[in-house]
């Protein structure tokens, strides 16, 4: 991939679903995409584990290789394994590869991956160069403002990443040491926008169309990435796209349609993970759907503690009866 090609890379509409560990699995990404989104990003995949895993483990990852609006996010600290993983997922049909330089979790940064790479920009550049050289698909980068307030080096990292062939950079408006505390500083992203010519995407605390407008105005970014705000609201990205870019507004499900959507999502998770694991993993999503309002405590508890998928599906119509209208707001 040459730099000229990378400079033209910006999915439309420029509204993306952020990678969220344990949340943005294939069933959720497919649901978000069904309403309309510029692109969605897979959960972070450890590069060495991806390459060395048995075929059945790789199959289980279900990264959505055949979906053109999906980016596969890779994490790691070794240029060799990152390049090998990138080559593997590209050969399997991945349309975009995203490099994780933003995860603040201690188990990731302790392994010198994720946002820890902001502390070693020379090494990070070698990793970026290895991935870009390994594949012909666009390679993007997701990172933060810096490690802490004394090392706000995102603009320099982004400038060097662009020279290495990165196609697009997403900036979460916090440092690693902030984790998710305080508020994302959208204005601080402007330094990155001024440093590069490739598209810049603003991320962090964008919960709706007005936040998206403000984030774009303050940062000068070319688009936005939505994370936690989409939990329980898989149509949110499409709503933001319609408000900012004039795309078709989504039909937000209400009443029976809302229950059917939630039930379908639940069943998709059972199919994806298997009944036992799927029932457990789905609880957080069911909770978010019920959080939109009105579910009696006892009924909510029954839904979230049942281990019988048939009983959960039987309870959902009553549990969601008063949530659809609020969810659409």
Return binding residues for FMN: 73, 142, 172, 227-228
| Main-chain dihedrals φ then ψ at residue 293, nearest 5 degrees | 130, 140
Look at residues 114, 96, 97 and name the one whose alpha carbon lies nearest to residue 105: 114
How far apart (Å, rounded) are the C-alpha atoms in residues 310 and 222?
Answer: 45
Dihedral sign for Cα 15, 145, 193, 205, please.
positive
Q: Can you give the C-alpha Rg of the chain in angstroms?
A: 20
82 burial level (CB within 10 Å; 0-12, 13-18, 19+): buried
How far apart (Å, rounded) are the C-alpha atoms in residues 72 and 3?
Answer: 20
Q: Which two tokens stand for residue 190?
A: 């402007």
Q: Which two tokens stand for residue 170?
A: 């997403």
Catalytic machinery residues: 103
Q: Which run of H or of E encompasses 226? A: strand 223-226
Tell me if 176 sits within 8 A of 118, measured CB to CB: yes
Q: What is the DSSP letter of 250?
A: P
How far apart (Å, rounded) are the C-alpha atoms in residues 297 and 312?
Answer: 15
How far apart (Å, rounded) are the C-alpha atoms in residues 198 and 158?
Answer: 9
Tell me if 79 sits within 8 A of 56, measured CB to CB: no
Binding residues: 73, 142, 172, 227-228
| Main-chain dihedrals φ then ψ at residue 185, nearest 5 degrees | -95, 90
Look at residues 115, 129, 38, 81 and name the one whose alpha carbon lies nearest to residue 89: 81
């Amino acid at each position: 991939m040459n730099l000229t090609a990378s400079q033209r890379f910006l999915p439309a509409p420029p509204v993306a679903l952020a990678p969220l560990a344990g949340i943005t699995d294939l069933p959720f990404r497919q649901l978000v995409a069904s309403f309309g989104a510029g692109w969605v990003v897979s959960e972070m995949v450890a590069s060495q584990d991806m390459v060395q895993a048995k075929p059945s483990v790789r199959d289980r990852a279900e990264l959505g290789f055949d979906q053109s609006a999906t980016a596969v996010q890779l994490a790691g600290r070794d240029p060799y394994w990152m390049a090998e993983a990138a080559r593997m997922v590209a050969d399997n049909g991945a349309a975009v590869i995203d490099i994780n330089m933003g995860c603040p979790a201690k188990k990731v940064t302790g392994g010198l991956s994720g946002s820890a790479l902001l502390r070693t920009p020379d090494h990070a550049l070698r990793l970026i160069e290895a991935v870009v050289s390994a594949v012909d698909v666009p390679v993007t980068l997701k990172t933060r403002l810096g490690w802490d307030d004394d090392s706000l080096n995102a603009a320099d990292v982004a400038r060097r990443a662009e020279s290495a062939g990165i196609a697009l950079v997403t900036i979460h408006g916090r440092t690693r040491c902030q984790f998710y505390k305080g508020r994302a500083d959208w204005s601080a992203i402007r330094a990155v926008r001024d440093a590069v010519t490739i598209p810049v995407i603003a991320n962090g605390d964008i919960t709706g169309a007005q936040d998206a407008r403000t984030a774009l105005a303050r940062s000068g970014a070319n688009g936005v990435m939505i994370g936690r705000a989409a939990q329980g609201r898989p149509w949110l990205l499409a709503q933001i796209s319609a408000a900012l870019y004039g795309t078709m507004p989504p039909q937000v499900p209400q009443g029976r349609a809302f229950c059917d959507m939630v039930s379908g999502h639940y069943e998709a998770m059972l199919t994806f993970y298997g009944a036992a694991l799927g029932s457990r993993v789905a609880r957080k999503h069911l909770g978010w759907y019920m959080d939109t309002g009105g579910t009696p405590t006892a009924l909510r508890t029954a839904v979230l503690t049942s281990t019988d998928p048939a009983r959960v599906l039987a309870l959902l119509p009553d549990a969601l009866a008063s949530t659809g209208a609020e969810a659409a707001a």
